[in-house]
């Protein structure tokens, strides 16, 4: 294996599970890169006073901080598989954690460590590419959502004048059908603002 291929694979793995100093740097880089889609995702949520929210793949905690500053949510939980990135999120949200309005959890998406019907909204921004079992994760999201709760999955499916057919296929042949099978209704595919030339999209659904 060539040197540059090794470096490329190392960097790709850091985006999936940031580790160490480089992982912390990549976490902050993702905050800068994903501000457009993060702000747009928050607009889609329509957060109400007293809501409880869960972010899957919270990264360095930027979305959580923005939600906390709106002073509406009763509790915001961020979940990630990377202890490195959880530490970054903890630093960014120290005040909210001390006030017990933000909680950070290290766990796998395929088995969410929460009670049934616990959240009004579950959302994820630019993480679906790394899900190991889409059907199981969507079933778990459905389980932890309250009745009439909302799921919002934000990601990119193309850049500039190109659509990524592979990602579009996953959306149409896996994400949406698995959401229907889990029990979600009013499922919609929404196009958002481009971010650095990438097409920002989201799939939304409501729990019956």
Percent of the chain whose predicted confidence (pLDDT) is above 70: 85
Question: 148 is written with which tokens?
Answer: 């009439």
- Please tell me the chain's helix, strand, coil percentages from 3-state DSSP, rounded to the nearest 5: 45, 30, 25
Question: 30 is written with which tokens?
Answer: 């993702």
Q: What is the pLDDT of residues 64-99, one digit of tens each?
A: 999 999 999 999 999 999 888 899 999 999 999 999
Beta strands in the chain (DSSP E): 52-56, 75-80, 102-106, 119-125, 145-159, 162-163, 184-191, 198-207
- Total tally of structural domains belonging to the chain: 1
* Location of structure tokens 């017990």: 100
* Predicted model pTM: 0.86
Alpha carbon distance 47, 36 (integer Å): 18
CATH number at residue 11: 3.40.50.150
- 75 CB contacts (<8 Å, ≥6 apart)? 52, 53, 101, 102, 103
Q: What is the pLDDT of residues 103-136, one digit of tens each?
A: 999 999 999 999 999 999 999 999 999 899 999 9
Give the closest residue to 105 by CA, choosing from 80, 75, 124, 68.
80
Give the closest residue to 101 by CA, choosing from 93, 109, 92, 112.
93
Question: 98 is written with which tokens?
Answer: 């001390």
Task: Name the phi and psi angles at 106, rounded to 5.
Answer: -95, 115
Measuring CA to CA, how many Å separate 129 from each of 71, 82, 101?
31, 16, 29
- Residue 47: give the domain boundaries: 3-207
């Amino acid at each position: 294996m060539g040197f540059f291929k090794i470096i490329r694979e190392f960097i790709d793995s850091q985006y999936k599970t940031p580790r160490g100093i480089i992982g912390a740097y990549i976490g902050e880089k993702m905050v800068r890169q994903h501000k457009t889609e993060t702000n747009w995702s928050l607009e889609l949520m329509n957060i109400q006073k007293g809501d409880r929210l869960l972010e899957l793949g919270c990264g360095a905690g930027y979305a959580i901080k923005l939600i906390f500053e709106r002073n509406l949510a009763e509790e915001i939980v961020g979940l990630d598989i990377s202890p490195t990135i959880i530490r970054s999120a903890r630093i960014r949200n120290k005040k909210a954690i001390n006030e017990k309005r933000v909680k950070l959890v290290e766990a796998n998406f395929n088995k969410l460590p929460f009670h049934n019907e616990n959240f009004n909204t579950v959302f994820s921004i630019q993480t679906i590419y790394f899900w190991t079992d889409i059907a199981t994760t969507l079933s778990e999201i459905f389980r932890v959502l309250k009745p009439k709760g909302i799921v919002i999955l934000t990601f990119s499916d193309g850049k500039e004048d190109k659509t990524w057919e592979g990602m579009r296929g996953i959306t149409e042949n896996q994400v949406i059908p698995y959401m229907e099978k889990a029990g979600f209704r009013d499922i919609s595919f929404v196009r958002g603002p481009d971010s650095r030339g990438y097409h920002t999209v989201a799939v939304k659904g409501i729990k019956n």
